[in-house]
Structure 1
């Protein structure tokens, strides 16, 4: 019976990235680690790239070599090592030991070649102005959050937008509900500036913003906002949804449902030019 090929799962990618980060923090080369553990250097590299599944025993050996003894974090990584084959959704898989919060959303943004997003309520974070982002963050923050903390969150959100201007910029395609471009987040002036910013972004070849008009009563996004991260070959796409109940990451085959939904949403929405014209017209109404 032929050997079933290993799928480069999100769990394997995250585990490999964490192990590589620990190795580099210690200033250790793959050659040095392979000599210490008496492992093949190319195999260690494949573990870090998620080309091969890594055994739990090897993870223990690597963490010991790196002097990484934080109990809770070790438990998280070892739980990952046991499940690197899994491609089902990430939610509360690990109970009190691990939750999906240790997969970083910005990490996926940084790895992706393209992000597709449908948003029912807000302009996506990668496209927000500072004033719009601050209004959104203040609304979501706990009442006791300090000004310095809010400012830090705003800076972090804005720093993520660097993926749009790097040497190989991220491609972002979004469909947003018409109510989003009419909702006066932060007041009319903030919304007007946000719409002007979106119109400016539309001129970039890697950005495509489409509006789902209110005249389309039924469409594939009525269940809510979602993101799709298209990772470079050979890694599969990852779908992401967020709610008050938590964050979910879904890989193939469950991600296929979101791919099909986004394709249908894009076809139902206004074209890029029509969307740009609508946003410009609304901005003029706010002047």
Structure 2
């Protein structure tokens, strides 16, 4: 019969906490053996904590934060709370802090860098990983609104474009399904949209990138509930789905993410083939010339 530890789902909370605790240990130049001896556990146990194979104990996290010299109250509270909630697979992320990114829990770059496949379904705009600088800046200025400050706009723009480096990793597959209306929406004006469409056409030539379009002629389908991202994580970690809304983000994992996996498979079936999709994108780009 499996033990309680063997039944533990390796949630993104546990992964996030394990990675952060490992980073803190490395920053202090401490070995697994040294820290494990301080805690009174086997060094293999500590290694499993850091790999999220076993959930970090709350008291162990508190003790290690003392060893690692983490005294900021907010940081300590956050990490201890992660240990306490390591078993949870769903959570609302409330508040984007008035901008495009929310780093209070887990962020897109972290998930993108760990996923073996990134799947995106978009009904309104081109996903950030495929946006040109002009398209991205237009969206960021829109999100920031009348309170936009130039240095903040440039900061978010740099972060968004920096995220796209994950596409240089040939081991990471990116699959994007777009509603055809996305290709007609004049974000940034005619020139910016044309540049964006040409970028989609060019980047689709990479073997690890698959772009598909659902034509407006398609009737009801499994995208009824709107855009979402699906991160297929390497074994043994469960898939993670992410939905953005006006108040923040919702992350769901494991069995809760299975509905998104099924929906994405259905959407892929409903979409045009990759060659048909690229041909449509090229035609629309040409019409804007």
Distance apart, 1:248 and its partner CA: 0.6
Contact 1:90/1:100 (8 A) holds in 2 = no
1:144: how far off?
2.3
Look up the SS of the partner of 1:195 in the other structure.
Answer: helix
Q: Distance in 2 between matches of 1:92 and 1:226?
A: 15
Following TM superposition, by how much is the alpha carbon of 1:138 offset from its aligned partner in structure 2, in angstroms? 0.8
- The answer as to 2:3 corresponding to 1:3 is yes
Residue pair 1:34, 1:40 contacting (<8 A) in 2 also: yes
User: What is the CA deviation profile of residues 115-142 of structure 1, one whole-angstrom value per residue up to 9, with x for unaligned ones?
Assistant: 1110000101001111111111111114
Q: Does 1:210 align with 2:212?
A: yes
- Output the CA distance in 1 between the equivalents of 2:36 and 2:2: 30
Q: 1:92 to 1:158 in 2, by over 3 A?
A: closer
Q: Residues 8 and 51 of structure 1 are in contact (CA less than 8 Å); yes or no, is this contact kept in structure 2?
A: yes
Please identify runs of 4+ aligned residues in structure 1 that moved more than 6 A.
none
Give aligned pairs, total: 280
Q: Contact 1:118–1:174 (CA<8 Å) still a contact in 2?
A: yes
Does residue 1:121 correspond to 2:121, yes or no? no
TM superposition shift of 1:29: 2.2
How far residue 83 of structure 1 moved from its aligned partner, in angstroms, is 2.1
Partners of 2:122 and 2:41 in 1: how far apart? 47
TM-score (norm. length: structure 1): 0.93
Contact map agreement 1:100 1:247 (CA 8 A) in 2: no
The within-5 A match list for 1:83-94 is 83-87=85-89, 89-91=90-92
Which residue of 181, 184, 187 corresponds with 1:185? 187
Range with bigger deviation, 70-79 or 151-160: 70-79
SS of the residue aligned with 1:141? helix
Relative distance call for 1:61 and 1:263 in structure 2 (3 A) is: same
Using the TM superposition, give the Cα deviation of residue 219 of structure 1 relative to its aligned residue in structure 2, in angstroms. Answer: 1.1
Aligned to 1:96: none
| C-alpha distance in 2 between matches for 1:28 and 1:11 | 23
Task: Confirm or deny: 8 A CA contact 2:132 2:199 kept in the other structure.
Answer: yes
Extract unaligned runs of 5+ from structure 1.
94-98
User: Which residue matches 1:252?
Assistant: 254
22 and 133 in structure 1: CA distance in 2 versus 1, 3 angstrom threshold: same
Is the 8 Å Cα contact of residues 93 and 249 (structure 2) preserved in structure 1?
Answer: no
Length-normalised TM-score, structure 2: 0.92
Q: Deviations over 1:159-193 (max 9, x none)?
A: 10001113x44211011110101111111111111
CA distance in 2, matches of 1:100, 1:140: 17
The two structures, once aligned, show a CA RMSD in angstroms of: 1.6
Conserved 8 A contact 2:197-2:285: yes
Aligned to 1:241: 243
Q: Which residue matches 1:139?
A: 142
